[in-house]
């Protein structure tokens, strides 16, 4: 519809950048704030054309491709598909909210702060729309600096420690990522992501590149052993920083998995899936436990992010369309919910100057509207039906159950733990032993303005998730189809795909599932076990497609009709 020649993505990326430059010529804190707000709102208007996203195709849309450094085959190459469009929308939506929530909170160096904000916006949108590796990497690194500054300059008492930690961690990851990029370039001679997806690589190469990229992403997510930078950064960061950190930055890790690991190194992803799933489930349970033990609200929410992002990781690495859709939706939903929760903490911090739960408890009497909002957001975080958190968690849960029942039960356990810490937060703050708070003002108009859209969005996405799901449907399907085709194909390290493999590459997957001779053909020979990469955690994990593995005879045999039916039902989505 609106796929006209207008370069929407470039506009979105460049406008904040230009605005940031203009910012330097402005004076007066209030002027700067209003100015940034206006800029952010204009950005919101600019993003509207993206709503014309074509939901029927998995192709990259709004593509812009301009040669940049031709010698190195580097292009200014932008484009979005279903996975990234939602993230961009989320980013743009959060931008004005960040401005509004910093209105009173940021008292010093206002200009610089807003400059950082604008830079962040540019970088984030760039990350989600870049289709060139180098471009992506530039945005990826560019995002670090304003974030680092936000923590280091406007942060809390231990800001130096926190910012450094944040920086070291993420930079370590970025370094490895860069290494992977270079390796790819050396192997293929191109930085274009779509082209890289087309290529096939040796198994060993995939393993190494996957590891290099995955570490970067795992740190960003953050996954279990690499998560400690997150609470530190969250606690010290100003509210806007926390919001951006939780809502956008963490998503970059999982986005990376979806954008790079799965399509480019499918065999390695398949190989490492048990590991990733293990780490994911550990993140969920471990994160929940640690969150339960926190007394600092911000830390609690930070650790809850660890757990929630564990859900997302799980959803991605079970390689089932439900799970993946759920994971993507949960990225968005978690962005909204956790962002909102950090805003709530910021709000109460402005009143009590403490983030301890014990010093902010029993508030329902004094600040009922605040409590209601907190309730809504925690309910959504927990996954109360009717809120957005429910739907995405349900989808992930479905996916996980489809993959393995053992995992599913662990997942349920994680959900119950999630209930525990969120209830602890909500009930203590809302209805606990009353602390101070008698004289506190309830929410003012500004706070209403930036919380209400989030609340509405939570309910909208909870009640009618379908519209948002439409965006991601084809992309996920495409991603999975390609992935399924390539995940087992590397038979020996170094062997290029030959005619035998061509034969095995399935077309549209449903056709392959039709009973009859083609199914026989698909049944793996006796040595499929040898061909598959060695299982690391097979006890807890089964790869998604049951027919191909041939392990579950009872499913493939007599109940074939039913499975077909199931698949048909699923594909109808």
Partner 1 sequence: MMPSILLQTIIVPALVALVILIFRFQLGKKSGWVAVLGLVYTTFLLLVALVEVYNGAPIKESYQLLKSPDISVTLMADGLSIAIALICNLLCLALGTYSIKYVAHRIEILYPETLGGRGEISYYSCFFYLFLFFPVGFMGVSFATDLVLMYFFLEILTLFLFFLMAYFGYYERVWVATMCLIWGVFSALMFLGGVVIIYSQVGSFQIDQIHMMAGEPLAFWAIALVLFGMFAKLAIVPLHVWMPWVHAEHPTCIAGLLAVYANIAAYIIVRMLVLPLWDDFQWFGPPIMIFAVITMIYGSLLTLAQTDMKRIPACSTISQSAYSMLGIGALTAASIEGGLFFFLSHIMGKTVFFSVCGMVVYITHTRNIRLLGGLATKMPLTAILFLCGGMMLAGIPPFSSFAAEVVMFAGIFERGDTLGLVVGIIGLLAILLTISYAVHFTRVIFFGPMPENIAKDDHIKDPPWTMTVPIILIIVVSGALGLYPTLVMELFEPVISAAVANM
Partner 2 sequence: MDIQFAWLCLIFPLIGVLLTPILSRISTPVMNYGAVFFSFLTAASAVMMLPLLFSAERLPLESTFVWLHTPITVSFGVLLDPLSVIVANVVAVISFFIMIYCLGYMKGDPGIMRFWMLMNAFIGSMLLLVLANNLIIIFIGWKLVGLCSYGLIGFYYRDERKYWIGGPAPFAFDKPSACGVKAFIVTSVGDMLMLGGILIMYYYSGTFNVLELYQTAPEWIPVMADTPGMIILVSILLIAGPMGKSAQFPFQEWLPEAMSGPGPVSALIHAATMVKSGVFLIARFIPIFYYGYWTAGVEDAMYFFLIVAWVGAITAFLAASQGLVATELKKILAYSTVSQIGYMMLALGVAGFGQDILVKGYMAGTFHLMSHAMFKACLFLCAGTVIHAAHSIYIDDMGAMRKYLPFTWVFMGLATLSLIGVPPLPGFWSKETVLVATLESHHYMLFAIALVSVVFTAFYSTRYFAMIFHGKPSKHIRKETSKPGHHVGEGYRTQTFACGALAVGIVTFGIFGLKAEHAITDLVSLQLVTDLGLATVDHVYSYPKIMVVFLSVGSVLIGAVPAYFFYFSGRWNADAVYRNSKLIRMVHAFLWNRWYINSLYTFVFVRGFMGLARIVADKIEKAADALVQSRLPNGIFKISKGTVWFDQRAIDGVVDGTAYSVVNSGQLLSRIQTGRIQEYLALAVIIALTISGIIWLS
Q: Is 513 in the site for partner 1 (CB under 8 A)?
A: no
391 to 420, contacts with partner 1 by CB under 8 A? 394, 397-398, 401-402, 405, 408-409, 412, 415-416, 419-420
Q: What is the C-alpha to C-alpha distance for residues 1 and 29, in angstroms, rounded to an integer?
A: 41
393 to 432, contacts with partner 2 by CB under 8 A? 420
Q: Is 468 in the site for partner 1 (CB under 8 A)?
A: no
Closest separation in Å from C-beta 152 to partner 2: 8
149 to 178, contacts with partner 1 by CB under 8 A? none
Which partner, partner 1, partner 2, none, binds residue 136 by CB below 5 to 8 Å per kind? none
Closest C-alpha to 180, from 69, 71, 264: 264
Q: What is the C-alpha to C-alpha distance for residues 375 and 356, in angstroms, rounded to an integer?
A: 18
Which partner, partner 2, partner 1, none, binds residue 401 by CB below 5 to 8 Å per kind? partner 1
Which partner, partner 2, partner 1, none, binds residue 408 by CB below 5 to 8 Å per kind? partner 1
Residues 6+ apart with CB under 8 A from 390: 380, 383, 384, 462
Closest separation in Å from C-beta 188 to partner 1: 38
Closest C-alpha to 396, from 375, 376, 418: 418
Closest C-alpha to 550, from 573, 522, 518: 522
Q: Is 392 in the site for partner 2 (CB under 8 A)?
A: no
In angstroms, the Cα distances linking 158 to 162, 247, 528 are: 6, 22, 54
Closest separation in Å from C-beta 475 to partner 1: 15
Rule CB under 8 A: choose which of 13, 235, 290, 316 binds partner 2.
Answer: 290
Residue 134 tokens read as: 């180098």
Peptide bond into 399 cis (omega under 30): no
Which partner, partner 2, partner 1, none, binds residue 289 by CB below 5 to 8 Å per kind? partner 2
Report DSSP letters for 425-453, one per residue: HHHHHHHSS--S-TT-----HHHHHHHHH
Q: What is the C-alpha to C-alpha distance for residues 545 and 19, in angstroms, rounded to an integer?
A: 49
127 to 166, contacts with partner 2 by CB under 8 A? 141, 145, 148, 152, 160, 164-165
Closest separation in Å from C-beta 178 to partner 2: 3
Q: Is 385 in the site for partner 1 (CB under 8 A)?
A: yes
Q: What is the C-alpha to C-alpha distance for residues 181 and 388, in angstroms, rounded to an integer?
A: 36
- In the complex with partner 1, the residue whose CB is nearer, 325 or 548, is 325
Which partner, partner 2, partner 1, none, binds residue 382 by CB below 5 to 8 Å per kind? partner 1
Which partner, partner 2, partner 1, none, binds residue 292 by CB below 5 to 8 Å per kind? partner 2
Closest separation in Å from C-beta 53 to partner 2: 34
Closest C-alpha to 193, from 144, 249, 143, 261: 261
Q: What is the C-alpha to C-alpha distance for residues 123 and 3, in angstroms, rounded to an integer?
A: 23
Closest C-alpha to 460, from 380, 386, 369: 386
Rule CB under 8 A: choose which of 239, 261, 265, 294 binds partner 2.
Answer: 294
Rule CB under 8 A: choose which of 175, 444, 518, 539 binds partner 2.
Answer: 175
- In the complex with partner 2, the residue whose CB is nearer, 35 or 303, is 303
Rule CB under 8 A: choose which of 48, 463, 510, 531 binds partner 1.
Answer: 463
Give the interface size with partner 1 as a residue count (CB under 8 A).
37
Which partner, partner 2, partner 1, none, binds residue 72 by CB below 5 to 8 Å per kind? none
Q: Does residue 407 contact residue 277 with C-beta atoms inside 8 Å?
A: yes
Rule CB under 8 A: choose which of 55, 187, 354, 470 binds partner 2.
Answer: 187
Rule CB under 8 A: choose which of 50, 101, 181, 381 binds partner 2.
Answer: 181
Q: Does residue 148 contact residue 163 with C-beta atoms inside 8 Å?
A: yes
Half-sphere exposure of 19 (CA within 13 A, CB side): 27
Q: Is 553 in the site for partner 1 (CB under 8 A)?
A: no
Which partner, partner 1, partner 2, none, binds residue 186 by CB below 5 to 8 Å per kind? partner 2
In angstroms, the Cα distances linking 452 to 242, 334, 336, 467 are: 19, 17, 12, 20
In angstroms, the Cα distances linking 362 to 34, 351, 430, 432 are: 35, 14, 5, 4
Q: What is the C-alpha to C-alpha distance for residues 214 and 152, in angstroms, rounded to an integer?
A: 27
Which residue has tokens 């048909």?
A: 568
Stretch that binds partner 2, among 15-23, 176-184, 494-502, 514-522 (CB under 8 A): 176-184
Instruction: Give residues in contact with partner 2 (CB under 8 A).
Output: 141, 145, 148, 152, 160, 164-165, 167-168, 171-172, 174-183, 186-187, 204-205, 208-209, 212, 225, 227-228, 232, 286, 289-294, 420
Interface residues toward partner 1, by CB under 8 A: 379, 382, 384-386, 394, 397-398, 401-402, 405, 408-409, 412, 415-416, 419-420, 423, 427, 431-432, 463-464, 466-467, 469-470, 554, 559, 562, 565-567, 569-570, 573
């Amino acid at each position: 519809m609106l796929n006209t020649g207008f370069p929407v993505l470039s506009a979105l990326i460049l406008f904040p950048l230009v605005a940031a430059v203009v910012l330097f010529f402005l004076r007066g804190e209030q002027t700067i704030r209003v100015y940034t707000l206006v800029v952010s709102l204009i950005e919101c208007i600019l993003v509207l054309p993206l709503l014309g996203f074509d939901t029927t195709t998995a192709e990259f849309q709004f593509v812009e491709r301009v040669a940049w450094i031709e010698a190195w085959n580097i292009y200014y190459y932008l484009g979005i598909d279903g996975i990234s469009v939602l993230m961009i929308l989320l980013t743009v939506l959060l931008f004005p909210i960040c401005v509004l929530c910093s209105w009173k909170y940021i008292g010093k160096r206002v200009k610089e702060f807003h400059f950082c904000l604008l830079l962040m916006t540019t970088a984030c949108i760039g990350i989600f729309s870049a289709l060139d590796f180098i471009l992506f990497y530039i945005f990826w690194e560019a995002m670090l600096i304003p974030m680092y500054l936000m923590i280091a300059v406007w942060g809390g008492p231990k800001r130096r420690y926190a910012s450094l930690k944040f920086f070291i961690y993420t930079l370590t990851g970025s370094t490895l990522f860069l290494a992977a990029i270079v390796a790819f370039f050396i192997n293929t001679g191109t930085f274009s992501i779509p082209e890289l997806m087309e290529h096939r690589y040796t198994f060993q190469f995939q393993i190494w590149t996957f590891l290099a990229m995955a570490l970067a992403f795992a740190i960003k997510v953050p996954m279990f052993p690499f998560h400690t930078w997150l609470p530190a950064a969250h606690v010290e960061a100003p509210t806007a920083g926390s919001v951006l950190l939780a809502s956008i930055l963490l998503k970059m890790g999982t986005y990376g998995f979806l954008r790079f690991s799965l399509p480019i190194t499918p065999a390695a992803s398949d190989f490492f899936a048990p590991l990733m799933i293990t780490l994911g489930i550990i993140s969920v349970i471990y994160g929940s436990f640690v969150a339960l033990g926190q007394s600092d609200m911000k830390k609690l929410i930070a650790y809850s992010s660890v757990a929630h992002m564990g859900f997302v990781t799980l959803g991605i690495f079970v390689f089932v369309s439900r799970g993946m859709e759920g994971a993507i939706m949960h990225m968005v939903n978690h962005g909204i919910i956790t962002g909102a929760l950090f805003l709530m903490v910021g709000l109460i911090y402005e009143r009590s100057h403490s983030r301890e739960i014990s010093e902010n408890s029993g508030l329902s009497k004094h600040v009922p509207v605040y409590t209601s909002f907190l309730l809504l957001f925690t309910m959504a975080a927990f996954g109360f039906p009717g809120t957005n958190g429910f739907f995405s968690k349900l989808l992930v849960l479905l996916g996980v159950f489809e993959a393995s029942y053992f995992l599913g039960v662990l997942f349920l356990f994680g959900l119950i733990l999630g209930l525990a810490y969120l209830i602890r937060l909500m009930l203590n703050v809302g209805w606990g032993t009353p602390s101070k708070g008698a004289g506190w003002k309830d929410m003012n108009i500004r706070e209403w303005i930036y919380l209400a859209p989030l609340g509405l969005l939570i309910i909208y996405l909870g009640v009618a998730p379908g519209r948002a799901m439409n965006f991601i449907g084809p992309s996920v399907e495409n991603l999975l189809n390609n992935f399924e085709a390539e995940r087992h194909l590397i038979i020996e390290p170094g062997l290029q795909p030959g005619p035998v493999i061509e034969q095995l590459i399935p077309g549209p997957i449903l056709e392959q599932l039709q009973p009859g001779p083609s199914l026989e053909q698909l049944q793996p020979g006796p040595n499929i076990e040898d061909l598959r990469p060695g299982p690391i955690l097979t006890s807890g994990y089964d790869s998604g497609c049951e027919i191909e593995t041939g392990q579950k005879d009872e499913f493939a045999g007599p109940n074939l009709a039913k499975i077909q039916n199931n698949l048909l039902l699923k594909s109808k989505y």
